[in-house]
Amino acid sequence: MLALVRPDSWNLPLFLHVLGATLTFGATATVALLGFAGLRGDPDRAVWLRGLAFWVGFGVLVPAFIMMRGAALSIVDKEYPGGHHEPGWVGVGFIVTEPGALLVIVMVILAWLARSPKSRSAVAVPWLASILLVGLAVAWFAMSAKPGS
């Protein structure tokens, strides 16, 4: 129904936003999986898995997050120029992604530090990724169901 009233020029940023969000979800889940797997077992194997978690975070999660957030800003600027009459569900997106961006930065830094065998930051990485996953689920509920609209 929305497609009937949505101008064609909004389709590309919306596609990039949804694509970025799904890539962010997948990359975050991968960081969590590699991070948890890197907490146990053979120490050399664990360090290798934690190194992979860093590269996935840095090489996939960060670009995907930027794509999601950049495209979101583009759509909001088109649909609610000047931020006027923004509905609550749009605000939920900002509430999740602003601390979410900070969480991603901290997580990637900790994942980089966790590449050292003696690092204590390794424990935090998969748990931060899990928190981000919960935040993403809240955001996709708000973005898709648009409660209150």
Binding site for another protein (CB under 8 A): 1, 3-4, 11, 14-15, 18-19, 21-23, 25-27, 29-30, 33-34, 37, 45, 48-49, 52, 56, 60, 140-141, 143-147
Indicate the residue among 3 and 83 with the shorter CB distance to another protein.
Answer: 3
139 vs 43: CA distance, rounded Å: 37
60 vs 100: CA distance, rounded Å: 15
Rounded least distance, CB 22 to another protein, Å: 4
Indicate the residue among 45 and 120 with the shorter CB distance to another protein.
Answer: 45
Indicate the residue among 4 and 81 with the shorter CB distance to another protein.
Answer: 4
Rounded least distance, CB 144 to another protein, Å: 4
Q: Count H helices and E strands in the chain, helices first.
A: 6, 0
Rounded least distance, CB 45 to another protein, Å: 6
Of 68, 61, 141, the closest CA to residue 107 belongs to: 61
Rounded least distance, CB 53 to another protein, Å: 10
Burial class of residue 71, CB neighbours in 10 A (0-12, 13-18, 19+): buried
Indicate the residue among 32 and 83 with the shorter CB distance to another protein.
Answer: 32
Instruction: Classify 2 as helix, strand or coil.
Output: helix
